[in-house]
Each structure stands twice: as structure tokens, then as C-alpha cells.
Amino acid sequence: MIRQQRIKLNRSNQKWLKVAVTSFAVLASITTVDIRIENETLVRVQIPTVDASKIKSNKRSLQRQVDCAHNFREAAYTTTSYQELTHELTIAEGILAMDNVSQKTINNAVKKLRKAIVNLVDKKDDPTFLEEQLTTVVANPTTVAQMRHNIYIGNLVFRSDGATASQRQLAYQLIYQNSVARLNLHITQTTM
């Protein structure tokens, strides 16, 4: 459906109206604007009305968030936080697959997906994960590999924001035992 509008203008305003309508058409992504000046005083502007099925929404920001969300590995995060991310990710992918989606819906999906990404809880910051890792400690390490494993676990606990005081105390003891074992290993190697 085409809407027509006739406007009477002075000679000086004719060119300005052409510029204004053309600028509006460019900003609104309308390519079929028809502007005609007849008899030096009459301007005819034809602008097509917006069809709801032809509304183009910008899905680039949502696509970027979906691509970003696919980079997270399940093994690195707690189960509940990762499940929340996958839930929001499936909703966002469904919105990307739809043709007629409002920009508001897309923006809301972007916000929810960003929130799910921000709320991911790293397993290293989860006290139960740290407790599991502390059970794998070698009590009296005799090889360099066992010592490296113990140092890794100790550093993991020290760097974690979710470590409890008792877990940090165990990590200190672990590093101490590891250094004593390293000295014993060094002494036995030099005496042989």
C-alpha cells in the first residue's frame, strides 16, 4: 500500500525537502521513495508503508553472544550454572532461527544470555570441587610427577576464590610435605 502526500512549498524550501525526505528514507532503509516537483510549487512524495513481515531486525549481537557461549566447556563449570547457560543458549538459537522477531525480543535474549555467561561458576571456585581435588593428593610423594601433582593441587586451592579456610590450611600442609619430600629425594640422590 502506498501513501501519497501533497505539500505546497516555497521555491527555497523545495530542495531542502528533497534532502530531508531522502535522508529519512536512507535512515529508515526505504529504497522506493518517489519525490516529484511539479509546477514549481507542488511536491509529491510517495513512501511505502512498512509491512510487518518485512521488518528487519538486527540479530548480529545475538549471533555474537551465541558464538561466544559455544566456547565454554561443561567440564570447567558447575553443573547448575552450565545448565542455565545451555537453557538460555537454546532459547537464543531458537530466536535466531525465527524469521519475524521483534528487536525487543532479540535484545532481551542477548541480555539473558550475557547474564548466564557472567553467572557461570568456575569449578575451581566451587568448594566441593576443591574437596574432591584434595582427596587425590599423594601423602608421601616419591616421584617428581607426584610432587608436581601436589603442587598443582596446592596452587589450585590458593588461587581459588571459593576455597574455605580449612582447605587453604590443607594446601599449606600439602606444600610443606611436598618440600620435605623433595629434600628427602634430593638427599637420597646425592648419597647414592
- The CATH architecture assigned to 60-121 reads Up-down Bundle (1.20)
Output the tens digit of pLDDT for each of the chain's 192 residues: 455 555 555 555 555 556 555 555 555 555 555 556 665 554 555 555 555 455 567 888 889 888 888 888 887 788 888 999 999 999 999 999 988 888 899 999 999 999 998 888 877 766 677 777 777 776 677 777 877 877 888 888 887 777 788 888 888 888 888 777 777 777 777 776
Q: What is the reported pTM?
A: 0.45
DSSP per residue over the chain, as a string? Answer: -EEEEEEE--HHHHHHHHHHHHHHHHHTT----EEEEETTTEEEEEEEPPPGGG-----HHHHHHHHHHTT--GGGB-HHHHHHHHHHHHHHHHHHH-SS--HHHHHHHHHHHHHHHHT--BGGG-HHHHHHHHTT--SS--SHHHHHHHHHHHHHHHH-SS--HHHHHHHHHHHHHHHHHHHHHHHHHHH-
